[in-house]
Amino acid sequence: MQRIGVFVCHCGTNIAGTVDVAAVSEALKNEPGVVYSTNYQYMCSQAGQDIIKNAIAEHGLTGIVVCSCSPRMHEATFRKTAAAAGLNSYMVEIANIREQCSWVHKDMKTGTEKAIILGKAAVAKVNLNAPLTPGESPVTKRALVIGGGIAGIQTALDIADAGFPVDIVETKPTIGGKMAQLDKTFPTLDCAACILTPKMVDVAQNDKIRIFSYSEVTDVKGFVGNFDVTIKRRARYVKEDVCTGCGACTEKCPQKKIPNEFNLGMDNRRAIYIPFAQAVPKVATIDLDHCNMLKNGKCGVCAKVCAAGAIDYNAKDEYIEEKYGAIVAATGFNPISMDKFDEFAYSQSKDVITSLEFERLTNAAGPTGGKLLRPSDGEHPRTIVFVQCVGSRCDSCAQKGKEYCSKICCMYTAKHAMLTRDKYPDTDVYVFYIDVRTPGKNFDEFYRRAVEEYGVHYIKGMVGKVSPEGGKLMVQASDLIDNKQLRIEADLVVLAAAIEPDRSARPLATMLTASMDTNDFFTEAHPKLRPVESPTAGVFLSGTCQGPKDIPETVAQAGAAASKVIGLLAKDKLMGNPCVAHSDENMCNGCSTCENVCPYGAITYEEKEFRMPDRTTRIRRVARVNEAVCQGCGCCTVACMSGAMNLKGFKNEQILAEVDAICR
Amino acid sequence: MADNKKLKEDVLAISGVNVRKCMKCGKCSGTCPSYGEMEYHPHQFVSMVESGDIEKLMQSESIYKCLSCMACVERCPRGVEPGKLVEAIRLISIRRKDANRLTPDRISELLDEDMPQQALVTAFRKYTK
Amino acid sequence: MQEITRDTLISRAKELLASGEVDRVYGWKRGEFCYDVTPALFTDAESLEKDFEWGDFCGANLSKYLVEETRKSEGKILVFMKPCDTYSFNQLLTEHRFDREKVYVIGTPCAGMLDPKRIRDHAESFTSVVSDENGVTVSTLFDGDVKLDRSEVMPDRCLNCKSKKHVAYDELFGEDGGTIASGRFDEVEKIEKMTPDERFEFWRGELSRCIRCNACRDVCPACTCEKCVFDNPNSGVENKAAENSFEEQMFHIIRAFHVAGRCTDCGECSRVCPQQIPLHLLNRKFIKDIDGFYGEYQAGAEVGSRAPLVDYTTEDIEPSDAVKGGDENA
Amino acid sequence: MSISKEPYRPLIVAFCCNWCSYAGADLAGNNRLAYPADVKIIRVPCSCRVNPTFILRAFQRGADGVILCGCHPGDCHYTSGNYYTRRRMALLFSMLDYLGIERERTRVEWVSAAEGAKFAATMNDFCETVASLGENKRLEDLRCKK
Amino acid sequence: MRKITLDRLDEFFAAVAGKLKLYIPVDTAGGAQFQQWRAGAKMSDALNTTRSAKDFFFPQTENLMEFKTEGKKIEIIDVRRENEDFAIFGVRACDVRSFDVLDRAFLSEPADTYYQNRREHGVIFSLACSKPAETCFCGTFGIDPANPKGDIVCYKTDDAIYMEAKTEKGANLMDSVSDIVAEDEGGDGESAVNAQKEIISERMKKLPLASLSTDKFGGDKTAKFFDDPAWKSLSESCLGCGTCTFVCPTCQCYDIKDFNAGNGIKRFRCWDSCMYSEFTKMSAGQPRLTQLERFRQRFMHKLVYYPANNDGMFSCVGCGRCLSKCPIQMNIVKVMKNLGEGGENNG
């Protein structure tokens, strides 16, 4: 029989406001096994924890129940408290009487009744708890960063700086990501390339970092400290270690009319190409879909002009398998498609562009060599209209865009408007906004400069319609302050498209068993306290794959993720989750049903000798759980007909006891 | 005041619109083809309904200037549907007067070759209770 | 084509015993009456000659005995199997319940078994049953001979035979048959078409007769657990007798669920039920649902196939859509 | 219409997976989204931990409805647990229905950690549905009645 | 002797049911079963019921006592209630004998009050077997189906049922319904019953198991049979299910268990079977570890141990239920025939 202590937390008025905490602790006093029951203002406080520790010592408690907030909040806290008092941490159960009781029920009577029942369930469970000891597993001292944008680059550099090897996997032929496509950066207006490319070079030159560009992760197995990852290296038909990046091939290739992704299709590239001059690795890549040689064996020009002999038309996709201790997701973002916003005529006119396209149009390395020219006729635009919040902050019932604020648009639009007025003072620039959001260091000052120094016309109101009319764009919008409808004849319309997570994130999350929100952003382990960790142990989040953010925030998060990774890799051993499956070999049929449903391959079989009741011996096949691999989902326990398989910490008996207590 | 409250409730019930969703972007008014004709513009309908200023709207010609084209409904990023508010207020107004301004037997005289059918449908929505 | 008789089986068994290929034979042993045939182990030619039986009442599925028997020694066992038995045999192999190498299977033809319970419906106190192409002649103690159609006295499982094909054997006697499109789901459909109230009453009527003798479980070739949850005091669901309708339901739901996707529909449960509860209608419901939800699946058709409950697709039916009772279309 | 002082309230047992639905329930709490106190949640690591036995046991002990909440298919913290749950429960519920037990007393709902509102809405709806069915009579064990 | 013609049988049943709870055998999907008589119920013509009549006195499950628990408080509740009077109609001679077997177990000191109470309140209408089945061997145990015991003995002919009260309990009941079924004074009763007895005796001689004898068994035969090699082959294929025990009219073993209902504990007993692996399991484990031992226990008990303690009375009544219900067709007849014949494979 256990000696159980019950500790009911008031959580200020959070619980005590709707639950009669004294009545709860009094009622639970009578439950079988309970020898001590009390309540206190804040159980998680030092004083509260001391109450628990003292009671454990004083009453010789063998198990404790804390009726408080969600176990997702403070289970770990109270487990530590118990451990500090010499009680096994797994002899602690939490009755969630805040999130799942006091906060959702208004009536004191029903709230109290329910709190008592939840407490009884927890007591019933603790009565059947057994001390558990976590197993240990070694840590592979190597990290994987998925995504080679500024987030991935910074994370990799920081990890490598601490002395651990890091691999970056990037789907594009070069690292650099979105930042490489930008012209200037707000609010300082320094050139993106000038601050990014040195970091790219650092990555290339760091002997701790390997870059797998033009590659993707195809399989992830294992668990924290021990991931087995399969990386597909797509054939680029150019030997990376031989190519000098001289670019001769990219000038001679006869296939010239391929839309250049790097410039968002605003100019063309060849079938063999280097995305941009500062690409890392600076090697050419052959585009399989457009190369004549690869498609029908007729060409071979690049091989002829390559002095280094780097071209290899027979290259195949390669798969490499590597072990990692930690994985960082840094898959980044993309602007959303403008398909559902046809009122802005994006599909009808070349002169309606997205802000990222505008970046390329103003970039010295872009399709116009940095001159702001209309895509349709190459003329200077005299009137430019910027539209903010295109697809951001939409209501879900409108089913068009995203519900969230994309965060970066206000600032880059101010930047675009300012730069335009700076370079071309003869241009009229209008910015239609719903709200201008500038919380950030020097952000509002930047926006005010655009208005005050550069004379950008900021208009509170939204563009309702853009219609191409005779080579111009008729922009119809409302000015809410002046309460009038405007019609502006514009030469160029720039849409601040909402951003969304990269499409590769969803399948990656599935492979990593990392959770995502409905918008496909990775979920953090805790929104405030663990913002750079995924709930899946060993998986960390860097950059916009977790939510919209600008460059400084991304770099900060990248560093934070790196430090978490370093913290993990610095350990020699990891303590596992002791709530793992366990097979009772006396009952095991050896039928492999559990093995078939185990997502981790944690179950193996062995032939074991048993003494039979008639004193003979028999050999039987029985299951064995690898506790380091088991993650404790419990799928096997239900698949197992005989009930030989049980889950420590969530045993059949424990759950049944909870059911009984609730239904009593 | 109590009347105003009731009126607001009626408008909201008839239209099914949740005015609190509006984030005051003005895209409805930016999109409105009748903007110039209207004393109160679509975004004002939303904010005035929210503040209970419905009598003013009912007295205004604006409720008949609205073409019921529903462009504002289509384009509103928040799904607020200002056009439905206009319709609801119009409906209350017509009900109060207890007289349809258009009856089916008058249709034939209104018909001409250039009249799009949609206009008739819209007219019916606008002038009947 | 040689006719397969009891002697054919005995002489082959004797050969295999004599050659040392096998050291024991699992077959059927005759009893007091024509019908009370008992599964039995034979180790010598003499007892085979004397007691071995093969005929209309050798319905017992011998595959389950192999789990224990194969563990007893290194020697090989000869076992005779009807087509339906071979499915159970394969299912047990899929679940690694015994070593295939220790068994020598002879597939025997089957024209459908006879059911003493159904014979009693037509002929009280019967002493012998002779069957041929023309039908079945039953001799009784007090009422003389009764002539019956074979179909009148076959059990449901044979009337709705799913397959005359042996899916496992080392040696086959007679010609192999194929799978049969039987009407085995007709009864299930009939129940599905009832209203929920009717269904509830129907099953309460049936299950209320249960005496928890465990015959269904103990004969079931899918119920080979080393320790059944209903016998295990630590399982939380153990009980020895159904105290009320809930416990009757509990036992049969959980048992059917545990064999779902593994049940080969051999029909032994209904054969042995002393209270004649149509237990196979529970198992067939699962089989029908599995076929409908996840595609046709016959447990035991091939060794190593993945049972539907240890498999999934990302597009599986939602539980809310899976429940389509008869009341909507009644 | 009952005029007794304490109107009938159903007893609902909700099994919630630790990673999505339990967190969803917490979020409902964080956002103060009310649902009836009839709902009592049992935390399990994954919806696939829920044995049909647990569900039947709840009914035996007096539950009027049992709901199982897990991560959305494809989002299982353990990759595939809820896919197995989906199959198991599809078959189990179909069997219960076949036995004439009201299908509305059991439900599986996918609730993510971000769907506090859905959790509350689901519980409100389920409580209402079960309340309209009244007490569980077909899977009851009279010994457990109060 | 009283007589009721079959066309008035319902009237008779109604009259008896007016006095006490009446159970008659009725045909169901699961064979004949005793059920409480209700207007319109038709008596089964089957020779015997699937379950035996022992259920009336020794039900499969029965609450013995209850504990009400609240927190740590516990309160004991006596659930014993005086039983209502009831009558069972149509009990065959074999089942009637089974009550003697059960009585010796349950009524010897200390008497089982639960059983005793039911026994005192039950009235048994026995019914002679006009058409025994091939599985019948009651004669082996000295039971005469032509002359069953019981409170009221009944004989069924083609058109009537003749009844004779043999006990005071029986006589009282019959007297209370004498307006429906009067004394058959000077009627054909005597001769009809005698003719019936004659038919039964003739038929008994024809039964295939008529010659089965208990001669080699008895209370002093433990040593003779305990290590008989035949046990091995007899028990070889036994599934270990409880069918034989549960359909047996004389099997009397039960287990006492607690059911924790959450708000209290019901202490109940339920039939147990010596064929079960958990039978008589104690803290030190199971005394009979193999199916062979458990199988042996059952038949040794029927044929040796029980007679040893009960003046030579065998605890088998030859009803034949286990012969027709055993899933693998193993039964006491095969055991009796094979034991003591030497040789493991002696069939």
Instruction: Check if C289 contacts D (Cβ < 8 Å).
Output: yes
Is the Cβ pair C35, E134 closer than 8 Å?
no
* One domain for residues A478 and A508: no
CB C9 within 8 A of CB C55: no
Q: Crossing angle for the helix pair D52-60 and C245-259, nearest 10 degrees?
A: 170
The pLDDT assigned to E278 comes to 86
Q: What is the DSSP letter of A337?
A: P
* One domain for residues A261 and A213: no
CB A15 within 8 A of CB A108: no
Question: Contacts of residue D144 in chain E, CB cutoff 8 Å?
Answer: 261-263
**Min CA distance, C147 vs chain A (Å)?**
46
* One domain for residues A110 and A24: yes
Assigned token pair, C140:
């009784």
Within a domain: residue A661?
Answer: no
* One domain for residues A392 and A459: yes
Question: Contacts of residue C66 in chain A, CB cutoff 8 Å?
Answer: none
CATH assignment of the domain containing A42: 3.40.50
The pLDDT assigned to E345 comes to 43
Question: Contacts of residue B73 in chain A, CB cutoff 8 Å?
Answer: none
Cα distance between residue A461 and residue A441, in whole Å: 26
* β-pairing verdict for C77-81 and C24-29: parallel
Domain annotation for chain D: domains and CATH numbers: 12-138 (3.40.50)
A448-456 long-range contacts, Cβ below 8 Å, gap at least 24? A449/A418, A450/A414, A450/A415, A450/A417, A450/A418, A450/A421, A454/A417, A454/A418, A454/A421, A454/A422, A454/A429, A455/A421, A455/A429, A456/A414, A456/A417, A456/A418, A456/A421, A456/A429, A456/A430, A456/A431
Within 256-275 of C, beta carbons closer than 8 Å to D belong to: 256-257, 260
The structural domain count of chain A equals 5
Q: Which of A527, A546, A568 is the last residue of a domain?
A: A568
Mutate to test the interface with C, among E48, E52, E345 (most CBs of C within 10 A): E345
Contacts C–E by Cβ distance under 8 A: 140
Instruction: Check if E81 contacts A (Cβ < 8 Å).
Output: no
The pLDDT assigned to C2 comes to 67
* One domain for residues A190 and A281: no
Instruction: Check if D95 contacts C (Cβ < 8 Å).
Output: yes
What is the chain A residue with the closest CA to E261? Answer: A664
Mutate to test the interface with C, among D15, D54, D96, D99 (most CBs of C within 10 A): D99
**Min CA distance, D31 vs chain E (Å)?**
34
CATH assignment of the domain containing A202: 3.50.50.60
Q: What is the DSSP letter of E302?
A: I
User: Collapsing DSSP states into helix, strand and coil, what is residue A609?
Assistant: strand
Which residue in the set A391, A460, A465 is minimally distant from B31, CB to CB? A465
Question: Contacts of residue C37 in chain E, CB cutoff 8 Å?
Answer: 329
What is the chain A residue with the closest CA to D65? Answer: A663
In three-state form (DSSP H/G/I as H, E/B as E, the rest C), the secondary structure along chain C is CCCCCHHHHHHHHHHHHHHCCCCEEEEEECCCCCCCCEEEEECCHHHHHHHEECCCCCCCCCCCHHHHHHHHCCCCEEEEECHHHHHHHHHHHHCCCCCHHHEEEEECCCCCCCCHHHHHHHCCCEEEEEEECCEEEEEECCCCEEEECHHHCCCHHHHCCCECCCCCCCEECCCCCCECCCCCCHHHHHHHHCCHHHHHHHHHHHHCCCCCCCHHHHHCCCCCCCCCHHHCCCCCCCCCCCCCHHHHHHHHHHHHHHHCCCCCCCCHHHHHCCCCCCCHHHHHHHHHHHHHHHCCCCCCCCCCCCCHHHCCCCCCCCHHHHCCCCCCCC
Containing structural domain, residue A252:
248-305
- The length of chain C is 330
How confident is chain A (664 residues) per 10-residue block, as mean pLDDT? 94 94 95 94 95 96 96 94 95 96 94 96 96 90 97 97 97 96 94 94 96 96 90 96 94 94 94 95 95 92 94 96 97 95 94 96 92 93 96 82 95 96 94 95 94 94 94 94 92 97 93 84 82 88 96 96 97 89 93 89 89 81 87 93 94 94 90
Question: Contacts of residue E70 in chain A, CB cutoff 8 Å?
Answer: 30
Mutate to test the interface with C, among E63, E237, E251, E286 (most CBs of C within 10 A): E237
Domain B2-127 belongs in CATH node 1.10.1060: yes
Q: Is the pLDDT of residue D75 over 70?
A: yes
Assigned token pair, D63:
């539950």
* C-alpha to C-alpha distances, E18 to A174, A296, E2, E36, E39, nearest whole angstrom: 97, 101, 19, 12, 11
**Min CA distance, A72 vs chain E (Å)?**
29
Q: Which residues of A356-395 are buried (b: 16+ CB within 10 A; e: fewer)?
A: bbbbbbbbebbbbeeebbbbbeeeebebbbbbbbbbbbbb
Q: What is the DSSP letter of B69?
A: -
Within a domain: residue A588?
Answer: yes
Domain borders along chain B are 2-127
pLDDT class of B121 with cuts at 50, 70, 90: confident
Instruction: Check if E345 contacts D (Cβ < 8 Å).
Output: no
Chains with 3+ CB–CB pairs under 8 A to D are A, C, E
Is the Cβ pair D90, C246 closer than 8 Å?
no
The answer to whether chain D touches chain B by having 3 or more C-beta pairs less than 8 angstroms apart is no
Residues of C with CB under 8 A from a CB of A: 71-72, 95-97, 224-229, 232, 234-236, 258-259, 306-307, 309-311
Mutate to test the interface with C, among A128, A593, A620 (most CBs of C within 10 A): A593
β-bridge mates for residue A645, sequence order: A583
Q: Which residues of A487-506 are buried (b: 16+ CB within 10 A; e: fewer)?
A: ebebbbbbbbbbbbbbebbe
Within 403-432 of A, beta carbons closer than 8 Å to B belong to: 432
Mutate to test the interface with A, among B29, B38, B45, B73 (most CBs of A within 10 A): B29
pTM of the entire structure?
A: 0.74
Mutate to test the interface with E, among D40, D143, D146 (most CBs of E within 10 A): D143
What is the chain D residue with the closest CA to C229? Answer: D53
What phi, psi does C14 have (nearest 5°)?
-65, -40
Within a domain: residue A136?
Answer: no
The pLDDT assigned to C328 comes to 44
The pLDDT assigned to C237 comes to 85
Instruction: Check if E71 contacts A (Cβ < 8 Å).
Output: yes
Contacts C–D by Cβ distance under 8 A: 127
Which residue in the set C96, C226, C309 is minimally distant from A592, CB to CB? C96
**Min CA distance, D100 vs chain A (Å)?**
23
Question: Contacts of residue A343 in chain B, CB cutoff 8 Å?
Answer: 31, 75
* One domain for residues A426 and A386: yes
Specify the DSSP element, H or E, that contains A68.
strand A63-68
Question: Contacts of residue C129 in chain E, CB cutoff 8 Å?
Answer: none
Instruction: Check if D96 contacts C (Cβ < 8 Å).
Output: yes
Is the Cβ pair C274, E50 closer than 8 Å?
yes
CATH assignment of the domain containing A632: 3.30.70.3270
Taking only the tens place, the pLDDT of each residue in E114-159 is: 999 999 999 999 999 989 999 999 999 999 999 999 999 999 998 8
Domain borders along chain E are 2-58+70-206, 222-338
CB E322 within 8 A of CB E257: no
Question: Taking residues E26-50, what's their average pLDDT?
Answer: 93
Question: Between these two residues, C150 and D146, which has the higher pLDDT value?
Answer: C150
Asked casually if ipTM beats, i.e. exceeds, 0.90, the reply is no
Instruction: Check if E263 contacts D (Cβ < 8 Å).
Output: yes
The answer to whether chain C touches chain A by having 3 or more C-beta pairs less than 8 angstroms apart is yes
Question: Contacts of residue A29 in chain E, CB cutoff 8 Å?
Answer: 71
Is the Cβ pair C218, E60 closer than 8 Å?
no
Which residue in the set C47, C125, C213 is minimally distant from E243, CB to CB? C213
Is the Cβ pair E327, C241 closer than 8 Å?
no
How confident is chain C (330 residues) per 10-residue block, as mean pLDDT? 84 95 94 91 94 93 94 92 95 94 95 92 90 89 91 92 94 90 91 94 94 94 92 86 88 94 94 94 95 94 92 91 56
Within a domain: residue A134?
Answer: no
pLDDT class of D2 with cuts at 50, 70, 90: very low
For chain C, the C-alpha Rg in angstroms (whole number) is 21
Within a domain: residue A241?
Answer: no
Q: Which of A515, A540, A568 is the last residue of a domain?
A: A568
Within a domain: residue A39?
Answer: yes
* One domain for residues A351 and A443: yes
Is the Cβ pair A104, D26 closer than 8 Å?
no
Mutate to test the interface with A, among D16, D42, D57 (most CBs of A within 10 A): D42
Is the Cβ pair C258, A597 closer than 8 Å?
no
Assigned token pair, D1:
């219409």
**Min CA distance, D130 vs chain C (Å)?**
15
Within a domain: residue A271?
Answer: yes
**Min CA distance, A85 vs chain E (Å)?**
27
Is the Cβ pair C124, E131 closer than 8 Å?
yes
